[in-house]
Amino acid sequence: MKVLAFTLFCLFIAVNEAKVYERCELARKLKNSKLDVVSGHSIANWVCLAYYESRFNSRLVGPPNRNKSQDYGIFQINSRWWCSNGKGTTANGCRSSCSAFLDDDITNDIECAKRIVKDPNGISAWVAWRNYCRGKNLSKWTQGCRL
């Protein structure tokens, strides 16, 4: 019985492991949330950004930044400005705990991204977008996705 309980426990852990989104699955979710309309940037920009920030891993916690802040979830939302992780000061612009950006349901991550792009930096707030997506031909990121 103990063995069975342990096996079930491991299964539970496995099922709850990092959800890595499929490219088109993510694209559809972002489209349905109207992130393109709200942000003024195409879905391909956001799929590219998420790929280079988190490799589509909704549970990713980034390594501590030099200034000790950390980045959370599929969009690697920063704890200094947008969420609270209980360490150090935060502007907490999205009024959220950082851990809330680590589950498989990325609805709240998308809502926070909508808030982040409203700032003057816009989508340039994401270093990965500036380095890998800006000015690139992004059509491959949504290619073959029924949006």
CB-count exposure of residue 111 (10 Å: 0-12, 13-18, 19+): middle
* Distance of alpha carbon 16 from the chain centroid: 17
The residue from 53, 105, 111, 119 that is catalytic is 53
Q: Does 67 bind ligand NAG (CB under 6 A)?
A: yes
* 129 neighbors 48 (Cβ within 8 angstroms): yes
Q: Is 71 a known active-site residue?
A: yes
End-to-end CA distance of the chain: 48
**Residue from 48, 80, 83, 117 binding ligand NAG (CB under 6 A):** 80
22 in catalytic set = no
Instruction: Confirm or reject binding of residue 29 to ligand NAG (CB under 6 A).
Output: no
Closest CB 128 distance from ligand NAG, rounded Å: 11
Catalytic annotation, pick one of 17, 22, 71, 105: 71
Site for ligand NAG contains 137 (CB under 6 A): yes
Compute the distance between CA of residue 123 and CA of residue 130 in angstroms, rounded to an integer: 8
Beta-bridge partner residues of 61: 72
Q: Please give the Cα distance from 7 to 83 (Å, whole number).
A: 36
Question: Does residue 69 interact with ligand NAG by CB under 6 A?
Answer: yes
49 binds ligand NAG (CB under 6 A): no
For residue 9, which phi and psi values (nearest 5 degrees)? -60, -45
Number of residues that bind ligand NAG (CB under 6 A): 9
Stretch touching ligand NAG by CB under 6 A, among 5-13, 16-24, 112-120, 135-143: 135-143
Q: Residues interacting with ligand NAG, by CB under 6 A?
A: 65, 67, 69, 78, 80-81, 137, 139-140
